[in-house]
Chains A and B, each alone.
Chain A
Amino acid sequence: MKLIPGIAISASALTAQKLWMDLIANNIANMNTTRTEGGGPYRRQMPVFRERLKEALEGGYRGNGVRVERIIEDDAPPRMVYNPDHPDADENGFVAMPNINIVNEMIDLIAASRAYEANVTVLNTSKSMALKALEIGR
């Protein structure tokens, strides 16, 4: 038994939520990016969260936080914008813009930051419990 209950669990969640926020920041930063390494416009990136488990042989409670299994790209079609002067416009004058909806990104940002805050609260509670345990017998 560790001194602070669930510190690794909360830490993993903070890392995961922060990574999500990084991805959202990157999505918003690349809202208008038409050129990427793989060719074509930038595509929205999303994390896939998965429950992390302890090794079965450790016994006891196996929940051990969360991890980002992989980062996927949104398959939604690009936003077509009529802009014949753009260097990446096709023969009809349409430019394929990233499939990013700023409203979605903002909502995700709120979800990620609230989840982050909740996990900070858990961490602080765990810490105060450990401090209280240290006072036993004093």
Chain B
Amino acid sequence: MNQQRIKRILVACGTAIATSTLVAVLIKEEMAKRGIQVETRQCKATEVPSYSQDVDLIVSTTPVPTNLGKPVIQTLAFLTGVGKEDVLNQIEKILKEV
């Protein structure tokens, strides 16, 4: 387990305006609390295939391709609160395994 390495998350939303920024900030905060250092990059959902090569995980609030060879989490939990704890646990688990 290589927990020292900074993990990279690609955060996508419809237009890469506000939603992905909010999601990125919240993931960074929550993972820091769990002792995981995270670096995020944001893009539009349509740009995911071209930005996904060097990331550990893709988190999106709109549908994105799931066949890119990277784990993908599609969730609105950071906006609605619904299932947020589960999503955070899932993100933590994935980042600890990569």
Please determine whether chains A and B interact with each other in the same assembly. Answer: no
Interface residues of B, Cβ cutoff 8 Å to A: none
